[in-house]
Amino acid sequence: MSQERLSMRKTREIFRLKFTCGLSNRKIAASSGVSRITVADYLFRAKVHGLDWPAIESLSEGDLEAKLFAKKAQPSDTKERGWPDFKRVHQELRHNKHVTLYLLWQEYKQEHPDGYSSVWFYEHYKAWRSKLDLVMRQDHKAGEKVFVDYCDGLYLVNPETGDPVMTQLFVAVWGASNYTYAEASLTQELPNWIMSHVRAFEFFDCVPTIEVPDNLKSGVNKACRYEPDLNPTYQALADHYGFAVIPARPYHPRDKAKAEVGVQVAQRWILAALRHRRFSSVADMNAAIWELLEKLNTRPLKKLKKSRQELFLELDKPQALPLPAHRYEYATWKKARVNLDYHIEVDAHYYSVPCRLVHESVDVRTTATTVEVLFQGNRVASHARSGAKYKHTTLSEHMPVAHQKYASITPSRMMAWAKKIGPDTALLVSAILANRKHPEQGYRSALGLIRLERHYGADRLENASKRALQYKSYS
Question: For residue range 413-471, what is the model confidence (pLDDT) as tens digits?
Answer: 778 888 888 888 888 888 887 776 656 656 777 778 888 888 888 889 888 888 888 87
How would you class 437 by CB atoms within 10 Å of its CB: exposed for 0-12, middle for 13-18, buried for 19 or more? exposed
Predicted pLDDT of residue 226: 38
* Range 204-225 average pLDDT: 72
Radius of gyration in angstroms for the set of CA atoms belonging to the chain, rounded to a whole number: 38
Predicted pLDDT of residue 428: 83
Of 32-46, 135-149, 279-293, where does mean pLDDT reach its minimum? 135-149
* Range 94-99 average pLDDT: 69
Model confidence, pTM: 0.55
Q: What is the pLDDT of residues 167-190, one digit of tens each?
A: 999 999 998 889 999 999 999 888
Strand partners, 28: none
DSSP-derived letter for residue 279 is B
Q: How many alpha carbons lie under 13 Å from residue 299 in its C-beta half-sphere?
A: 12
Sign of the CA dihedral 319, 325, 330, 331? negative
145-319: CATH superfamily: Ribonuclease H-like superfamily/Ribonuclease H (3.30.420.10)
For 81-114, b/e burial (b = at least 16 CB within 10 A) is eeebebeebbebbbbbbebeeeebbeebbeeeee
Domain ranges of the chain: 8-137, 145-319, 332-404, 409-470
Strand partners, 336: 362
Separation of alpha carbons 318 and 95, rounded Å: 9
Residue 244 — φ and ψ, nearest 5°? -100, 145
* Range 217-221 average pLDDT: 57
Q: Which helix or strand (DSSP H or E) is residue 137 part of?
A: helix 134-137
* Range 354-383 average pLDDT: 90
CA neighbor of 256 nearest in space, from 136, 137, 176, 147: 147
C-beta of residue 68 within 8 angstroms of C-beta of residue 47: no
